[in-house]
Amino acid sequence: MVLRDAVAVSAPGKVLLAGGYLVLDRAYTGLVFGLDARIHVVAQPIPTTNGVVLNEVVVTSPQFEDAVWEYGYRLVGRGGGMSVTQLRVDADLSLNRNIFIETALGYALSYIAAVWSPQITPASITILADNDYYSTPDELPSGHTNGDTAPKQRFHNFGVPLSKAHKTGLGSSAALVTSFTAAVLSYYLPKEHFDLSTETSRRRLHNLAQAAHCAAQGKVGSGFDVASAVYGSCLYRRFSPDILASSADPGAEDFANALKHLINETTENSSSEAAWDTEIHRDAVKVPKGLRLVMCDVSCGSQTPGMVKKVLAWRKENPEEADAIWSDLHEANESLAKEMKALAESQIFGLERLRTCFTRIRRGIRAMSQKSGVPIEPPAQTELLDACEAVQGVVGGVVPGAGGYDAISLLIEDKAETVAELEKLLKNWEFKGEEGGGKVTILGVREEMEGVRMERWGDYAGMVMK
């Protein structure tokens, strides 16, 4: 058996700075920034002795307890692609499923089976998350490295099962599915079929990751988080939901061929492009020199799907009222993107118009929150944002995405004294969330313009499964 070369891929987290809820509707856009906290995936061969045959992919996430998933795979007849089955190590133990990994693996292997001969060999896949994806104890250093920290200090062992780790809301599932899918495709496919440096392969990765992520969630989301994981910071308009509304499961008859045509954007009887009508404008997003994004983790969290459901129900029952708020927010969101780009491209440095954009966005979010009865910017977040915006050097802030009690996002002057003043403010801040109090800490992340990328797998030596 020929052993393939190991590969490593990473994808960024995200923050939907403007466009929460609106981005679910194709009539509106979302301003999404990539974040330099990344999910890293390393794929390498499992060596076997002569005469030993394995049909197994072993996935580990060594930062968490019991985070090992072993999968068997087999090629299904009648175009069904690759069927992936989680293996039970002990018959007496219940399966510790990870639906995102399982679905991404099934979709990626099925796509490979459709575009190339399915020469799937055993592989070990290791997932590593930069620390800012999860709330960490005070004694642990912040997040990713800045180039002067040894790689072995980069990924903390959180000491808990993955299900018990508190997420900070940076888009871990989208970054995971994207980097995992890219790693599997890069590992198994030859360059002529998949090369992450080409625009065609990135577009196909985007389509495949969107399909797998939606299937894992059990619903068709807006997809801004996957788009950002692939392309980095961008102005995003979602794809039409019916593109993925009726997809089959891996193993179903003709699943692999249907998936190939969907991902490669062709129909079976035509060379015309399929209905992927996503709009991703990378050149519409820029950060002016001298400014940066900051995320502040609020150790509470919200149930985003329930919030979204309630807001959409309110909008359906009150279309005129909701549309008025939606339209005003949309104008404010686009004004923010245009103003940031204009400042970045000019020699004039004025912040008042940016501050006005943030004020208008927050006013619209509070109106949506009040009318819908959903805590998008709850009083505790209003108090926190107001206090942060009063700090010298803070331009403005929002509760990004779906809002609630997750991390807040601030646009600030990129100065050490501004960060120091924020840290001083937040050091003893008593945050009152839905389930009691919590601390507020500045995460070690900032905006990231670049999306998914290949990494040097040797940089992860000593951190991956042998």
Note the maximum CA span of the chain.
Answer: 71
The one-character DSSP state at 239 is P
The percentage of residues in the chain with a pLDDT greater than 90, rounded to a whole number, is: 65
- What is the pLDDT, as a whole number, of residue 169? 82
Shared-domain flag, residues 304 and 347? yes
Instruction: Report d(CA 35, CA 223) in Å as an integer.
Output: 16
Across 441-461, average pLDDT: 93
Measure the CA–CA gap between 447 and 411, rounded to whole angstroms. 10
The residues, any chain, with a CB within 8 Å of residue 228's CB and separated by 6 or more, are 12, 14, 32, 33, 34, 171, 174, 234, 236, 451
Quick check: is 241 in a domain? yes
Range with the poorest average pLDDT among 229-243, 253-267, 400-414, 428-442: 428-442
Whether residue 251 sits in one domain with residue 319: no
> Residue 456: which residues within 8 A CB-CB, separation 6 or more?
8
Average pLDDT of 167-191? 94
* Local confidence band at 144 (pLDDT 50, 70, 90 cut-offs): very low
Instruction: Give the separation between CA 257 and CA 276, rounded to whole angstroms.
Output: 17
* 137 occurs within a structural domain: yes
Q: Are residues 319 and 429 in the same domain?
A: yes
The predicted pLDDT at position 4 comes to 77
Q: Give the pLDDT score at 53.
A: 57
Q: Supply the range of the domain harboring residue 410.
A: 286-448
Backbone angles phi, psi at 437, to 5 degrees: -85, 165
pLDDT bin (cut points 50, 70, 90) of residue 120 is confident
Residue 465 resides in a domain? no
pLDDT for res 149: 39
Tally of CA atoms within 13 A in the half-sphere of 86 that contains its CB:
17
Looking at the fold, whether 303 and 250 belong to one and the same domain comes out as no
Q: Are residues 135 and 74 in the same domain?
A: yes
313 lies in the same domain as 233: no
Please report whether residue 1 resides in a domain: no
Q: State how far the Cα of 100 lies from the Cα of 10, in Å rounded to an integer.
A: 16
Alpha-carbon span 431 to 252, nearest angstrom: 49
What's residue 152's pLDDT? 42
pLDDT in tens, 329-388: 999 999 999 999 999 998 666 899 999 999 999 999 999 999 999 999 999 999 999 999
- What residue ranges in 190-247 does DSSP mark as E strands? 234-237
User: What type of residue is 443?
Assistant: L
Same domain, 160 and 257: yes
Residue 38 included in any domain: yes
Provide the 8-state DSSP code for 457: G
CB-facing half-sphere around the CA of 19: CA atoms within 13 A: 27
Regarding whether 383 and 257 lie in a shared domain, the answer is no
- Asked whether residue 320 falls in the same domain as residue 215, the answer is no
For residue 248, give both structure tokens: 């089959």
Give 259's contacts (C-beta < 8 A, 6+ positions apart).
81, 107, 110, 111, 114, 208, 211, 247
Mean pLDDT of 410-421: 96
Chain mean pLDDT for the chain: 87
pLDDT of residue 117: 75
More confident residue, 140 or 325: 325
2 is a domain residue? no
Residues 240 and 382 in one domain: no
- Model confidence at 273, pLDDT cuts 50, 70, 90, reads very low
Residues 203 and 253 in one domain: yes
Q: Which two tokens stand for residue 297?
A: 């983790």
pLDDT score, position 79:
83
CATH number at residue 411: 3.30.70.890
Does residue 182 form part of some domain?
yes
My answer on whether 42 and 185 are in the same domain is yes
User: Residue 147 above 50 pLDDT?
Assistant: no
Domain count, the chain: 2
The reported pLDDT for the residue numbered 304 is 65
Secondary structure (3-state) at 141: coil
Backbone angles phi, psi at 309, to 5 degrees: -60, -40
Residue 172 lies inside a defined structural domain of this protein: yes
DSSP structural state of residue 92 = T
Separation of alpha carbons 9 and 196, rounded Å: 10
Q: Which of these, 38, 39, 40, 33, lies nearest to 18 by C-alpha position?
A: 33
Identify the helix (H) or strand (E) that includes residue 384: helix 379-389
Tell me, what CATH number does 73's domain have? Answer: 3.30.230.10
- Whether 170 contacts 407, CB under 8 Å: yes
Residue 388's closest CA among 425, 353, 413?
425
Strand-pair partners of 423 = none
